[in-house]
Structure 1
């Protein structure tokens, strides 16, 4: 029996009116077009946003281009850029409750989780501020008495930042402060399903004193806003977080200008469980990993590969814990899992579970819609699917929902083969009390992040990104800053020591 949190009484709230931020001013669309966002949990109107087109996108690009080229931001000292970033972090902390509520209403995520994400976002801004002040290149004093080499690191230019709906404020904060720390200007396109918190960020940037045109926001759909950003010769790079399919389309769209592309894409992240680990610890982390953000997370621990000697025992523990996880109204602080983002995505999740059942897998728990008293939104029950083999779609493709697939293995070689038997390579985990087992797995698994005896711990200092079809480049850490930099070599001859080429 699933633990359900019924609807809570919430005060009536005005519909959020979201507009574009272009060259320091808030604007509606030239044709006055708008689009609405209904809360996925409550099914009522929460946002009306300006619907951008080519004209608004091109105006934002032109503003970012001018702001970069005239040096109003790119030529500031690291100290001056850091000062603004630190002000933004303070303002995020001040408005944490407002931002969290916007994300909860538009995405369906629990309010307690959203609040924690906003706290993490302000830390990202502070960390990026530290990078702005410590950015440095190299010098080479070993090229001979008459030569000196200097390697400069310079901002790439105008960055288009295209962000997803599952972590609206957190992911824009994994991109924008690093771009700004490097000296870039930006045009942001948030998901059409979750525009509000990015608009609020725009308000905070203005309050913090960001110069006009340095950060621009265009609301709307991938076509035409995202397409225009990717194809424009005045955009120097695109940073995108979202599905692998859209990531491939972005690479194609940017090919005409050979712009730099950074992609954080999908994952089918394995956790390999060896029989010598603490099964209770593993079960708790597995339940967290698959139900966090309703499984709508690129880092979701959506498949476990467990040694056959403990597979039944671990599955029983996971089912028992899953029944205790609080699903329901995201506005209740007790809720741990909220609503599914859209009807289309709900059908996709259910389709994977149905196909697995038809292919011979056993749905040990869930596999159906969840009714929450007092709410008419979309909720999917916690779902555990066993007797899964590696050929099933549910074991290979990104479900992006609260659905766990359980596979088994006999040897470490088989476990590593199963872990690597996917097109993705974002993250992976290993559970064992033997450090040799953990290190052997960590070195051989194809993943950008490996957790040992934990899952989804993250820090601003540590880079994040994937291999294979999970993406290109890295976010966070010093590597996150490097994404927004170009390297320039300056070779200097000292004095007039060069021998003439023509005698």
Structure 2
């Protein structure tokens, strides 16, 4: 079903899309497949609600967000099961995603009450100058499949807190998770039109969003290629945009690091969600003197990871989302081995009893060089290439990517080295001895072609606000 103007409705065309479980290829459910007409109706519903929604007090908007967080808490197992069924991640990871989503709703329930203006010293005695903050307007949010609940929460919580009504287009692979979020908003009595959900054709639904003059803000998480298209299309009506795009995170391990800690961190960063996260490490650089020891310990840990259906007990690696993603992983490994890389563990399609999904063995490669495809193109799968370096200057030069700049990681027990890496790594997020830095109260986003703007923290709500300067002549 689509959610438009406070009601669950079918697509105007009557079309449906199939939601497939990537672990076994089975049909989970059919949902409405929206198009331009549905998108336009949702945008108009959002626009009609804008005046009344922005006029509500911050405390009133905050209450809806807190109540939605409570609903998610009370239904966490059911929602997590939906996430696991339609995109494959292990159940405990899905629960962790819902917890993060709850954190975003709770955080922005508080940030709604902290949208401050300012007064400015005037250059003339007869003037009073001030800046007030106003919501940008109708916001269109386009979200990915790999975190189908958290990415919606991270976008709509600050938008609603700021006073912006929203229209959400979820990934076609994971509309059921999005529906669960909107069930929460419906259950808490969010006013009609304030939040709308349109699953369906990306070109048609999002095309209407970028063309429609009523939409004043586009927020997107996904590939750099698609993000660039949305920026171009949004330029026609000069929309405000925020983009969280592709990444190619380096993971630098110095010889003074706690190697066991670095190994655990690398496993957690690389293989969470089967490597299908935008901030997971794509390149592991280890200082030469400890490279062999690190690689052995790392491969041993990786080879112990249990592969299977995310609903089964003890599973750490679920399926890859679809055949295209599976073939991309195979292609990168093939290119690397043909150019001299060695498979330390994994490297093959995984066979899981009773399941017919896109499972791939968690893989470690060594003898990897910078000219291999895996060294420059985002993998989005369970493959970890290990490189070696000699000096911190070399590590920085190779870690900094010419296009991507989303997240980077460094392991060292030398404070001076940590500061050096923090300042020299050209990334929007840097984890020092921390493989999972994402949190609701801190900004998330990249530099270069990895994005524009920030989500999370007090920075996130600013993306949905405009500064209005007011000059008053008091004489």
Does residue 258 of the first structure (1) align with residue 230 of the second (2)?
no
1:151-170 map, 5 Å? 151-170=131-150
Corresponding residue number in structure 2 for 1:281: 261
Flag structure 1 segments of 5+ consecutive residues without an equivalent. 1-18, 497-503
1:15 paired residue number: none
CA drift of 1:429 comes to 1.0
* 2:142–2:220 CA contact under 8 A, matched in 1: yes
Inter-partner Cα distance in structure 2 for 1:74 and 1:47: 36
Q: Which residue of 1 aligns with 2:31?
A: 49
Q: Equivalences for 1:334-349 in 2 at 5 Å?
A: 334-349=314-329
Secondary structure of 2:285's partner?
strand
8 Å Cα contact 1:151-1:488 kept in structure 2: yes
- The within-5 A match list for 1:345-364 is 345-364=325-344
Aligned residue in 1 for 2:43: 61
8 Å contact 1:72–1:211 — kept in the other structure? Answer: no
**Structure 1 counterpart SS, 2:423:** helix
Partners in 1 of 2:212 and 2:446 — Cα distance? 26
Q: Secondary structure in 2 aligned to 1:236?
A: strand
Within 1, Cα distance between the matches of 2:19 and 2:371? 38
The secondary structure found in structure 1 opposite 2:265 is helix
* Distance in 2 of aligned mates of 1:117 and 1:209: 24
Displacement after TM superposition at 1:144 (Å): 4.0
CA RMSD of superposed structures (Å): 1.0
What SS does the corresponding residue of 1:446 show, helix, strand or coil?
coil
Q: Which aligned pairs between 1:433-444 and structure 2 lie closer than 5 A? A: 433-444=413-424
Cα distance in 2, alignment partners of residues 433 and 301 from structure 1? 20
Cα separation, 2, equivalents of 1:29 and 1:460: 34
How far is the alpha carbon of 1:422 from its aligned partner?
Answer: 3.7
Could you say which residue in structure 2 is the equivalent of 1:492? 472
TM-superposition CA deviations, 1:92-136 (whole Å, max 9, x none):
111111111111100011111101111121111010000001111
Kept after mapping to 2: 8 A contact 1:303/1:405: yes
Following TM superposition, by how much is the alpha carbon of 1:333 offset from its aligned partner in structure 2, in angstroms?
3.7
**TM-score relative to the length of structure 2:** 0.98
The answer to whether the 8 Å contact 1:271/1:305 transfers is: yes
Task: Give the match for residue 192 of structure 2.
Answer: 212
- Deviation of 1:457 after TM superposition, in Å, equals 2.7
How far apart are 1:240 and its partner, in Å? 0.2
Partner Cα separation in structure 2 for residue 171 and residue 30 of structure 1: 27
Kept in 2: contact 1:330–1:338 (CA 8 A): yes
Contiguous gaps of at least 5 residues in structure 2: none
Contact 1:268 / 1:422 at 8 angstroms: preserved in 2?
no
Q: Which has the larger radius of gyration?
A: 1
Q: Distance in 2 between matches of 1:409 and 1:221?
A: 46
Q: 2:16 aligns to what?
A: 34
**SS in structure 2 opposite 1:248?**
helix
1:12-411 residue pairs with structure 2 within 5 A? Answer: 19-68=1-50, 71-411=51-391
What's the CA shift string for 1:195-216, capped at 9, x where partnerless?
0111121121121121100101
Q: Could you tell me whether the CA contact under 8 Å between 2:22 and 2:322 is conserved in 1?
A: yes
TM-score with structure 1 setting the length: 0.93
